[in-house]
Amino acid sequence: MAEISLNRLPQTAPAKRSFFTWLVGAESKFQAKDAVQGYLFALPWILGLIIFIAGPMLASLYFSFTEYSVLDSPTWVGLDNYHKAFMGDDLFYTSLGRTFYYAILVVPLTLAGSLLLALLLNQRLFGRNIYRTLFFIPHLTPEVAMAVIWLWLLDPHLGPFNYVLKSIGLPEFPFLTDRDTVIPSLALIAFWAGVGGNRMLIFLAGLQGVPNDLYEAADIDGASVWSKFRHVTLPMISPTMLFNLILGIIGAMKVFNIAFVATRGGPAYGSWFFALHIYQQAFEFYRLGYGSALAWIFAIVLIVFTLVNLRISNRWVFYQGES
């Protein structure tokens, strides 16, 4: 008898559901009231998404098909802006190329460096909290201050870096003042600033999450330090690696602040990054339509990178629980 009455409950309940109860995805009137409160708590973000993210995205998509110069209202020009970007804007390719060059230097170096630092901190060393803090501090430096500091450190005539180079018999290195060396120099700064930052902490957490019994089992099998790293540590932290890789690529491609302050995109457009190009078109020349088109091209490039990354990740990322 008890079973029957239990079975009948869920059958009768949906029949009584009002349209509103169904709409909010609830089973009963009480749940529906609760669901409404759920929407209310999420309301700030729902509004924020619409006003500051979704709305602007749609608006910028529309502007990207218009000519819009602040003073006049936007006029529809179809694909002209996109056509101009690909066919009639030399700096477009320069900026893409410079951005890729920078990212190709920064992403792998920082990723490998962060992992190595995390491995070092994962050893039982005396005072490792102090090392962790010192490695982390550059990451906290405001980028504007960082630009100012590094311009001074890398000064081609008076900076301490060139002093060291000179004293070991090497010629002066132009660093940020030459088109050929500006990108590696900016990569060096980014490496200093980022290698001990969030990525290192995330790797460290990942390393500490590797179960001890895996290392014990490897020890019993007589595995060497290297093969434990290669066959236990690396697979176990590969999800962390993917997370860091994706965020690292996005972060590197968005590079703006340091170049804006330290080099102004120069010398000779040597550090003319894509974000600088968008900034100049939109906020110095007030070509809001063309700037929007550039921003969308940029977003699509980033999305493609992320998707490709996720796509090929199943070849090298190992998730516990999936055997």
Partner 1 sequence: MVAHSSVQTSGPVQSSSSLSGLRGRLGTILLYVLAIVLCVAFGYPFFYTLSSSLKAPSEIYIFPPTLLPEVPQWQNYTRVLTEYPYTTWFMNTVFVTLVATLGTVLSSSLVAYSFARFSYRGRDGLFLITLATMMLPAQVTLIPQFILFWKLGWLDTFYPLWVPMWFGGTAFFIFLMRQFMMSLPRELDEAALIDGASRFRIYWNILMPLCKPVLATAAIIAFMAEWNRFIEPVIYLNSPMKFTLSVGVSFFKQNADSSSEILQHILMAAAVMMIAPTLVVFFSAQKYFVQGIAMTGIKG
Report 210-239 residues binding partner 1 (CB under 8 A): 210, 212, 215-216, 219-220, 225, 228-229
163 interacts with partner 1 by CB under 8 A: yes
Q: Which helix (H) or strand (E) holds 130?
A: helix 128-140
Q: Which stretch binds partner 1 (CB under 8 A): 1-9, 76-84, 147-155, 312-320?
A: 147-155
Helices (H), 154-228: 160-167, 182-194, 198-208, 212-220, 225-228
175 interacts with partner 1 by CB under 8 A: no
141 interacts with partner 1 by CB under 8 A: yes
Give, as ranges, the residues between 7 and 36 that touch partner 1 (CB under 8 A). Answer: 23-26, 31, 34-36
Interface residue with partner 1 among 13, 170, 303, 304 (CB under 8 A) is 303
Interface residue with partner 1 among 82, 100, 269, 279 (CB under 8 A) is 279
41 interacts with partner 1 by CB under 8 A: yes
Q: Which helix (H) or strand (E) holds 75?
A: strand 75-76
What CA–CA distance (Å, rounded) separates 236 from 234?
5
Interface residue with partner 1 among 91, 120, 234, 317 (CB under 8 A) is 120
Q: Which stretch binds partner 1 (CB under 8 A): 6-14, 77-85, 97-105, 293-301?
A: 293-301
| Cβ-based nearer residue to partner 1, 8 or 20 | 20
Peptide bond into 44 cis (omega under 30): no
| Cβ-based nearer residue to partner 1, 183 or 242 | 242
Q: How far is the CB of 169 from partner 1 (least distance, A)?
A: 14
Q: How far is the CB of 194 from partner 1 (least distance, A)?
A: 11
- Write the CB contacts of 212 (distance below 8 Å, at least 6 apart in sequence): none
Interface residue with partner 1 among 56, 79, 180, 308 (CB under 8 A) is 56
Judged by DSSP in three states, 72 sits in: coil
209 interacts with partner 1 by CB under 8 A: yes
Question: Residue 159 carries which DSSP code?
Answer: -
Q: 41 burial class (0-12, 13-18, 19+ CB within 10 angstroms)? A: exposed
Q: Which stretch binds partner 1 (CB under 8 A): 79-87, 102-110, 128-136, 173-181?
A: 128-136
Give, as ranges, the residues between 62 and 101 that touch partner 1 (CB under 8 A). Answer: 63, 70
Exposure string of 161-197, with b = 16+ CB inside 10 Å and e = fewer, is bbeeeeeeeeeebbbbbeeebbbbbbbbbbbbbbbbb
Judged by DSSP in three states, 67 sits in: strand
278 interacts with partner 1 by CB under 8 A: yes
Judged by DSSP in three states, 76 sits in: strand
Give, as ranges, the residues between 243 and 262 that touch partner 1 (CB under 8 A). Answer: 243-244, 246, 250, 253-254, 256-257, 260-261
Q: Take residue 247 and report the two structure tokens written for it.
A: 């965020």
